[in-house]
Chains A and B, each alone.
Chain A
Amino acid sequence: MAVGVDIGGTFTDLVGYRDGKIRLSKTLSTPADPTEGVARSLDAAGLEIAELDEFLHGTTVAINTVLERKGAMTAFVTTEGFRDIYEIGRGNRPENFNIFFHRPRPLVPRDRCYELRERMNARGEALVALDQDEVRRLGAQLEADGVQAVAICLLHSYANPAHEILVARLLRAAHPQLFVTASHEILREFREYERSSTTVLNAYVGPRARDYLQRLEAHLSDQGFRGAIQIMRSNGGSMSLRNAAAQPVSMMESGPVAGMIGAGQLAGLLGLSSAIGFDMGGTTAKAALLTDGAAAIEEGYFIGGYATGQPMQLPVVDIVEVGAGGGSVAWRDPAGGLHVGPRSAGAEPGPACYGRGGTEPTVTDANLVLGRLNAQRFLGGGMPLDAACAGKAIEDMARPLGLSLSAAAAGIVRIADAAMALAVRAVSVKKGVDPRDAAMIAFGGAGPLHAVALAREIYVPRVVIPKLPGNFSALGMLLSAWRHDSVRTLVGIVGKLDPKQVGLAYDELIAAARKQLAADSVDAERAAFAFAADLRYRGQEHAITVPVAGADAFARSEEAVRARFHELHELRYGHAAAEETIEIVNVRLTVTVARDDPELRGYLGAPFHAEDPRPEQKRDVVFDDAEQPLATRILWRPGLAPGFRFEGPAVIEEPNSTTLVFPGNLAEITAHGHIVITL
């Protein structure tokens, strides 16, 4: 059996699969010890570790190490004259009018930043040779200071990493206990601050992430696990545990990506060329654009937010996150404004209706008060909700606003919906996709409950609720491929490029990917190689990543490359300039290897058979008018057969999620068991 385990801020979700059979669990997270959470979720699913062949895992250990600043004692090594480049950063002040702003706080203090006498120029020619004795002295110094990890980032190492290679080799040989990262091992892209920061992040989280992974491995193997452990990485693919331990920075967004991978596959299956994946859990809501069955990938982001966060220049599934989840707390400002989030009640104490001591009103409380949630069927009946506590929490907050309980609850949901709608729109319009031409694929415990309201807000005409929406992220892990992304800076004018030079750059990337395939024991025969280039009009700075036919695309079909770039520029920014010079900045390679289990890969497209039918219920549910609840059909999803059609208002309940269908919407169960709602 293969299992995927996704540890979120509120819930831990598990999906197991073997021979067409699915096992599920959804349990409250245990922030103190994630390995205990893993054990508990296996237990709840009735699974023994010894019967598992494969374990896929998304973890927040890397990102939490950074956010909590609990990483290793790390040193930073760079070129003479540039000791402070990491601390200086870009000098910007995103909080424009704040005269008490803070810059990003470096993870390495200045007395652990070191210079080496050496210098490359932009063409990768050594202007000053590296002095090996100086490196050896530095190593002794680091050891004497008790440094645990070191990040090496030398100027222009993306063009020629020879000096970095030498420094890393000397330090590793002399100090095997030191966690050494050289920037070219992580990325070969220019911009020294972002590359330095990415390298420092890897070193900083390295020892702790390695410990976590070793503990997980030991925990599983102690109980008889003999299979492979795969870790989700920010780019939406998986990697071996060993690779994760060497490059933990690439699992920074390990948690939220898997669901979007699953949603992308579903979009492909349904023939939706543009779709928006929408995932709403207990703590946050996330949205990503899915084009032709794949989630958009962004080259880098800021950990801890743009204004004061640490830049990480690695591919990450382009997910927009807003602090709106089922647990988001509603509050009142002194001027009488009503707001929701970003603070979440989390798993402890959780929403008021969990009856675990929470007294602040949350989105989940509001949904319960509006009749949208069934107090007796939450988590398959495993966790009954307390409507009285929910009502009291909302009334206490809303009384000074002069709103009725029902109006306040409806207001809380509407504000959360509006915030999420902006995020959902941001992922689509940012890429030039009009939401009116897209479908939404909604999942996460709370996603199906809010999806139709969001879709109405931004004119998305169709909403799809997949099978197992409440465990969809864990399912996505089982559907994801092994993946390796790489990049190499290569600046030149398209049309004047030496095709041989471009070919060489791609060859380097291919060789590095093959090495990684071998190291992870992945079958290279089944690997798919996707080539791309970052292009821009000469004079622009921001480039667009354009897929190209192969390593020889520039030699063979430069016209096709140009045409594709103009087209993408027009799509994304609303204008293009066919007569202008195009510049290349980077070449990229993505290697993927799909899971070697066609039946599991095809799970989302497998025929669905209804089981466990239950009688339809009726209850009053608030839709648009807070004071006029509608008598509404309550349907039990597992018992709805393919082809079943119905019109809203309706509530569709299932063990780990609830779908709300508004009046006038048409819903249908597809042959594969997904719900398609037409607005």
Chain B
Amino acid sequence: MKPDPITLEVVGNSLVAYAEEMAEALCKSAYNMMIYEVRDFCCGLIDTEGRMICQNAGGLPIFLADLGIAVKDGIDRYGLDGFAPGDVVIMNHAQVCGQHLNNVVVYTPCFHEGKVVAFAASRAHWVDVGGLRTGFGNVQTTEIFHEGLQLRSIKIYEAGERNDGVWQVITDNIRFPESSLGDLRAQIACCQLGGRRLGELLSRYSLATARACIAEQWDQAEHEARAVVASIPDGRYTAESWLDNDGRRIDTRLRVKVTVIVDGTNMIIDYSEMNEQVPSPLNSGYSGGLAAARVAFKALTMPDAPVNEGCFRPLELISPEGTMLNARPPAALGLWSISLPTVIDTILKALAPAMPERIPAAHKGDMGGCSFYGYRKDTGTRFVLMNIFGGGWGGRPHEDGEDASVSICQGDVRNTPVELQEVHFPFILECHRLRPDSGGPGKYRGGLGLEIRYRALQECTVNINLERTLDPPWGVNGGASGVVNRCVIRRANGEERDVKKESNVPLEAGDTVTFLTAGGGGYGDPLERARELIERDIALGYVGREGAARDYGDGNWTTSRRSGTAG
């Protein structure tokens, strides 16, 4: 039965709205900034075969391949008849989920007329899940057992009754139980809300109609995506780029090599030549590589449409086991996402010659963040300060790249206000400003990175996980590279050194840590850049005079202060 276009529109809009409503409930009552500021979560409805019915739009784009996989494991374990109303399942198992263990999936079965018809699911980053060090992303781990507690498809509530044993295990094995169990409560409430909404929809439109609408939505999304793929010339496209190192073998670069095959309305993304898995936490499981491929595919085909299973039907992934994007257990996964911005950019780079009007130059290419932790001297309490920094995005076919924005793996992820950081943590921020001359020159310039400086007011510790300090954000179509990421620690006595990947670096009062984030690559030949744009850049201080002379030829720029209307 094909639904009429009006019912389809109504049911389709409702499902998208439910996912957003679930997200709002989770985000607003969450306990850690990785959820409420970084929006490191996703939620939505999953069908009884583990396929995505709908998912919230904000948050992190890379969560395109993880709810379904997690739910499917529970279905396989319990069977659809093995769920009861009031069940809540918790899941973060590395081998299934393929991500760091902080990403905890919580889901509930949705019943209609006594039968499970779907699952409401949420996945959120817990601030800590135990393991070697506070938080996540410590470069010293070599196997998953260093990284914390694993929970595989465990019913933490059975028919509404809490499993106190499991609850106790969690409480006793993580560093911030108050926060994480608060997040767990928020995740459960979010799932229950999704289940309620689905129930209302089904009582209004019937299960058969809703399923027909969902199927039709998927078909329409597939149709739309195929039309875009068909417009890309058939062929085999390859590109390569490099990560700095795996965090342990500092001088060994990691190859990111992808091949994209376009054949009619199908696209294959092939990771066969990806770097092999590494003895450090820079691996992901299969779902990490799949998520990267899906982000690139979605960005190219239908960036504005809601996400559902149909969007990805034209996409096939080849991802052999044993690479850093499909690591064999018990590989460490703590920094699973660090490679993904580069992987996605490399997929785009491969396709750039085939569709030059639709692909920008490379962006900053890392996840860009910091984490400081320690015990507050005044209160004795444990603290973790985390923040996510933006950087430059690549120049585009018809305009400059954006400045100071989070990576392609991070969507509605916000930096933490300076005032808020200083209220809660023993630091003074000395600056938070644009990094002039960091954008790659081009007809359309890459966006600027940032400069952020922390001064510690007491002793504490910092983890630094810089990437892409060697292979800069590349230009395309003749554009030049942006400036790479950098981090400098300056001791109170004036000693200064660059840091790339280091965990547990001790800081004393008065020490400063400066983060300089990368600029985007340029698009097109810099010598074709319009004179008025160069002069504007100099007047606004985005590009210095020397930089302009070096990158755009020694023009006689007129750069009197601009006056006029804003914008």
Contacts and interface: CB of A to CB of B under 8 A. Distances in A.
Nearest to A419: B13
Contacts of B37: 541
B550 interface: no
Given A110-B542, A122-B422, A539 B32 contact: yes
A668 B199 CA distance: 33
Interface stretch (A99-107, A261-269, A525-533): A99-107
B566 A121 contact: no
A573 B28 contact: yes
A190 B416 CA distance: 12
A534 interface: no
Given A335-B224, A573-B189, A84 B396 contact: no
Nearest to A459: B200
A96 to B, nearest CB: 4
Given A98-B303, A190-B417, A82 B431 contact: yes
Interface in B539-564: 539-542, 561-564
Given A111-B541, A122-B419, A337 B9 contact: yes
Q: Which residue of A81, A93, A158 has the most chain B CB atoms within 10 A of its CB atom? A: A93
A93 B405 contact: yes
B225 interface: no
A190 B423 contact: yes
Interface stretch (B17-25, B97-105, B239-247, B264-272): B17-25
A91 interface: yes
Contacts of A491: 423
Interface residues of A, number: 80
Interface of B is mostly: mixed
A88 B450 contact: yes
A190 B541 CA distance: 28
Contacts of A156: 419, 422
Interface stretch (B162-170, B179-187, B279-287): B179-187
Contact of A155 (B389, B418, B453): B418
A98 B299 CA distance: 6
Nearest to A425: B17
A458 B182 CA distance: 31
B418 A88 contact: no
Nearest to B183: A539
B418 A192 contact: yes
Contacts of A430: 21, 24
B402 A145 contact: no
A81 to B, nearest CB: 4
Interface residues of B, number: 90
B10 A414 contact: yes
A573 B25 contact: yes
Contacts of B450: 88
A336 interface: yes
A521 interface: no
Interface string B394-406: 0010000011111
Contact of B14 (A105, A127, A422): A422
B330 to A, nearest CB: 32
A450 interface: no
26 contacts: A83-B433, A84-B433, A85-B418, A88-B390, A91-B404, A92-B413, A93-B410, A94-B411, A95-B303, A95-B304, A96-B58, A96-B61, A98-B303, A99-B299, A99-B348, A99-B393, A155-B418, A190-B417, A193-B417, A338-B9, A418-B9, A426-B21, A430-B24, A541-B30, A573-B25, A574-B189
Interface of A: 69, 71, 73-74, 81-85, 87-103, 105-112, 121-122, 127, 145-146, 155-156, 158, 190-194, 204, 335-339, 401, 411, 414-415, 418-419, 422, 425-426, 429-430, 457, 459, 491, 537-542, 569, 572-575, 577, 580
Given A85-B433, A572-B28, 17 more contacts: A69-B567, A81-B430, A81-B432, A88-B434, A88-B450, A91-B389, A97-B304, A108-B566, A111-B561, A190-B419, A190-B423, A204-B566, A415-B9, A422-B13, A541-B37, A572-B29, A574-B192
